[in-house]
Every structure is written in C-alpha cells, then in structure tokens.
Structure 1
Amino acid sequence: MTANILFAARSELWAEYETPLHAALDAAGLDCRLATEMPPETVDYIVYAPNSAVQDFAPYTRLKAVLNLWAGVEGVVGNTTLRVPLCRMVDEEGLTQGMVEWVSGHVMRHHLGMDAHIVNPDHRWDPVAPPLACDRPVTVLGLGALGSACARMLRGLGFAVTGWSRSEKRISGIRCLHGDDTLATALRGAQVVVLLLPNTPSTQDVLNASSLALLAPGAFVVNPGRGALIDDDALLAALDSGQVAHATLDVFRIEPLPKDHPFWAHPRVTVTPHIASETRPPSAARVVAENVRRGERGLPFLHVVDRDAGY
C-alpha cells in the first residue's frame, strides 16, 4: 500500500527537500507518494515545519505521525489538535555535527582569547598564554542529542566538563547533574557556560541575575539553544559589571534580532544569525525516511517527543 506523505513547510524549502526525500524514501525501499498538497483524509505522514500553514491536524484522520524538520518543537508541541506521535529532528550527520563544530569553535575562541589578537588596533604586545583546557571548567546546560555531543567534544579537547539536564543522564568522562536542586552546583565557578536546553516554561530565563552571579567572574556565555533561556537585561548587566566577559549568542527572543537591540552595539556581545546548526536536507531526509519505514512496518518511531516534558 502506498504511504502518502505531505510536505508542510515554507514553499521555498520544497525545492531543497524534494529530491533528497525522494532519494531517501527510494533507498529505504518505500512505496510513497510525496507532495505539498493532498486531501487531508488521505495523509499518512506529515513532514513538518512549525511555521507552515498546517496548524489544525484534526482533518488528518489517517495520520500516523508528524515528522518535524527542526530540533525544536515548542512551536507545535502544545497543539491540542495533534493526537499522533510527534518526532523531533535528530540528525547526527548534519544537525548534530554542525552544532558541535559551532560550539567547539566559539568555546575555543573564548578560551584562547582570540578576539584580542584578531582585533588589535593598538598593536599591543601582551604575551599572556591562556590556561590549559583542563583548568577551564565548562558547563553545558542540556544533555539531549546536541548537548551530549557538544559535551563529549569539549571533553575530548581537554576541558573539565559538567553537564546538567532535567532528567538523569550518564556520559563517560563528564560530571552529569540533573534536577532543579543541582543547577546552582552545575553553574557555580563555571568559566564557560553553553546553553542547549529546549524552550519550555521551566527552562525560560534559566540564566538570570541569580544564576549569572554563580559563574566565575569574567565567564563566557555561549547560547546556540533558545533565546528565551536568557534574561536579556540580566545578561547585559552582568556584561557591564564584568561578571560575564563576553556572550556569543546565536538565538534570540525575537528573530531577526531587532536592529535597535542593545546586543548589536555591546562591545562584549557577538551576534550570529541563528546559524549554529541547520537542518541539512540530504541527511534530514534519511531520518524522515527511517521513521516512515518504521511506521509502515509497525515499529516504534525514533525521537518521539514527550508531550508532558515539552521535548
């Protein structure tokens, strides 16, 4: 029986995904019809972006699963009309590798003090070597697929890494803490903090005036996770006081970041335009195809979202 797959995302993405999705579905030996429009009652799977036109899932009476193209699901997880499994995008080939490269690059940039050498208009000769990575404690908030991969890479580079998550995780070589009562322990004395938590009511403003004060003076903040994880005003105050030496931010509460936002002009803030990690169509298509294959064979889907937890 042919499985009908609706591609529900911005129209310009169809040109990028059509060929890779067909190739991945064919390689998986699946008999599928893939299109951007089809009668709702005939749809078996929706390849989905939360900013698509599809917001009411009730008409999709034959639907087996919604396969998200993004790692983040906060834009759809609360949709009460969605009553089938929602699978987030976990793509180790593309999404995860891209995040690992971005995070490790910016952590190393701050660790080595590269900015002072790249931009040095006064030609200052200041031969002060950075500490070794083992003497620079790093905390990674969030130990999902992306956070765990970044924590492992940073540990491999020699950093003393503490990971914190809401539920228990175990990663070799990394001190793993979990639960609200250990967050302060995870942050206390950290010289670098990397935020890779999902955006849920319990994680919003996880970095605020109180938690920023726990970091080592002159710490670095690196946020490729979600903009709502940081209290912007508290971060700006910590930057002005020197409690935080620099913040590299890839995500924001409003995107694109408004041109008059203080982050743009602050000398201790680096803004990157939500590029830390992007879904790559060829590898993402293979993830989608594997979940369709599982659904057609009655196997459990991969990366199913816990609706109560929000991720």
Structure 2
Amino acid sequence: MINVLFAARPERWPLYETPLTEAFAEAGLQVHLATDIPAEMVDYIIYAPNSPLQDFTPYTRAKAVLNLWAGVEGIVNNPTLHIPLCRMVDMALTQGMVEWVTGHVLRHHLGMDAHILAQPGEWAPKAPPVAWDRKVTVLGLGELGTACAQSLARIGFDTHGWARSEKTVEGVTCHTDLSEALTGAGGVVLLLPDTPATTQIMNAGTFAKLAPGAFLLNPGRGPLIDDDALLDALNSGQLSHATLDTFRTEPLPQGHPFWHHAGITVTPHIASETRPKWSARTIADNIRRNESGAPLLHLVDRSRGY
C-alpha cells in the first residue's frame, strides 16, 4: 500500500479526492489517499504551495513532492525540503494556456476591443496587418511557452521566442539574446518562471525596444513586470494594451491602479488553471513511474528555481 498525503488547502480536497482515487486505480496502484496520514508513514505528498504544510522535516519516508501547480516559487526554496520536487505539467494545463494566449493575442492583433466597444453610428474601418506582418515574442520556452509559440506560428505570426539556453522550436525564431528577441516586437507574451534572473525583465529599457503600440500579455508571474514602467509605457503610447493574469499580490487589491487604467485588462489568474481530472492522471502516472523504477517526470532544478 502506498500512502499519499494530500497537502493543499481544505477547499481543494473535495475537488481532487474522486479524480485522484480514480486515477490511481486506472494506473494499477494500491493507494491510501488522505489528508491526515502520520508524517512518518507518508510515501508521497501532493502539494499546493499555499498549504498549511511548510515543514517537511517529519516526512522521513517520503519519496517525492508532487506540486499541483506549474509554478514552484512558493516551495522551491523551502529549507526543509530535501526530496525530489515535481512541478505540474499536464496536457489540459498546457491546452488552457494555449487557448488563453492565442485568444488574447488575436484580440489585440485584430483590434477587437474597438469594434466591441463601438457606439452606434461609429464607422471607422481599419484593417489590421496580417499575422505574418506582426512579430510576436514569447519570453520563456518551457512546456507552456513552446506550446503557445507553436500555436501562434501555426496561425502565421512572425513568432519569436527567448530562453536563456539555446532552443529549437519548429516555426519559431529562437533567441538567447533578449534585445534581439524584443526589438520591433508588436506583441510580447510572458511565460517565464519567477526567479531572481527574471524579476522585472520587462522594464523601461525592454519596453523601449518594442514596436510603438505593442501589446503585452502576462500569464506568467507578476514580478516579471516593473509595474511603474508598465504604466509609463501605456501612458506614453509605447504600449497600446496589457492583459495581465498574474500579479505581485493576489487577489489584486481593489485600489490598485491596474483596475482603473483603460489600457489594462485584468483576468483573475485563470490563464491555465489546474484541472483535477487531468492533473490527477499526471500525478498517478508519476507515482507509477517512480514505483516501477523509472525516473520521475518534470523534476525541478533547485539551482535554477524551476
């Protein structure tokens, strides 16, 4: 019997209990799944970083922590965690991000807001450029960034991607030079992890490299953007619009200027929500692999922070 502790906020347990139970059965695993297993008996921990569990010292038998979220910045530096940590990568999470990014890129590319918000009698035809005349740059070419870049490339956008290490993605011009990736871009999508190396990667200097009137999407992490520089870029017209799904403080405080700026769309961290049905299968498969002697998937590199 494999003892699996579900260590997330209490309201998530009813959402995950049945999908996890079914996924373990489908994987052929004999699992005792619960929220209150004695620490010394736990084999695996299914975890959300806002869980009350913050001290991993008592879990001497545990083989791995399986994160429910794609982001691991809330756990990766926990000094009591010394066992493998796996981030969440599943097909539904990826598909959700691709749909959100593609939809909002097309929204801004086509200028849909002007038509949707037009008053009766307004008639100002202005055709957008075709996709291949607009450079769109995706910062971050991990699982999510690569999938989104490929989707944009299939539509026909002049799609570029940036990562710190060399990447090859079909249909995408890949860069390791940030300036090259951003210069002349008419749209930018942020899909980077939150690390010291990525904090405020979009700032006054990097905004200035974009084509005038560019748009910005941030479904990545709030600290990737210098908030004051973003507002300045919008007010000057260097940016035409920013659609933001992640923020330094969540929920976004009611008095925050992002709520009231005409050039900003706020979405409530929904770009790629973890779906229990699909994430449960990913977790069950990873445990099955580890129990059979195969390597765990989606291991976090502690030195890089993701």
Determine if the TM-score, normalized by the shorter chain, exceeds 0.5. yes
| Equivalent in the alignment of 1:273 | 268
- Displacement after TM superposition at 1:122 (Å): 6.0
Whether 1:191 and 2:186 are equivalent positions in the alignment is yes
- For residues 1-311 of structure 1, what are the structure 2 equivalents within 5 Å? 2-92=1-91, 94-121=92-119, 123-178=121-176, 182-311=177-306
Which 5+ residue runs of structure 2 have no aligned equivalent? none
Q: Which moved more, 1:115-124 or 1:69-78?
A: 115-124
Inter-partner Cα distance in structure 2 for 1:29 and 1:268: 51
- Residue 242 of structure 2 aligns with an amino acid whose one-letter code is A
Inter-partner Cα distance in structure 1 for 2:42 and 2:163: 36
Give aligned pairs, total.
Answer: 306
Q: Which moved more, 1:114-123 or 1:99-108?
A: 114-123
Show structure 1 runs of 4+ deviating over 3 A.
none
Calculate percent identity across the aligned residue pairs. 65
Q: Normalization by structure 1: what TM-score?
A: 0.97
Q: Secondary structure of 2:103's partner?
A: helix
Inter-partner Cα distance in structure 2 for 1:293 and 1:39: 22
Q: Secondary structure of 1:305's partner?
A: coil
Cα RMSD (Å): 0.7
Q: Normalization by structure 2: what TM-score?
A: 0.99
- Displacement after TM superposition at 1:124 (Å): 2.0
Q: Secondary structure of 2:33's partner?
A: strand
- Residue 220 of structure 2 aligns with an amino acid whose one-letter code is G
- Residue 45 of structure 2 aligns with an amino acid whose one-letter code is I
Which 5+ residue runs of structure 1 have no aligned equivalent? none
Inter-partner Cα distance in structure 2 for 1:43 and 1:199: 30
Inter-partner Cα distance in structure 1 for 2:100 and 2:217: 10
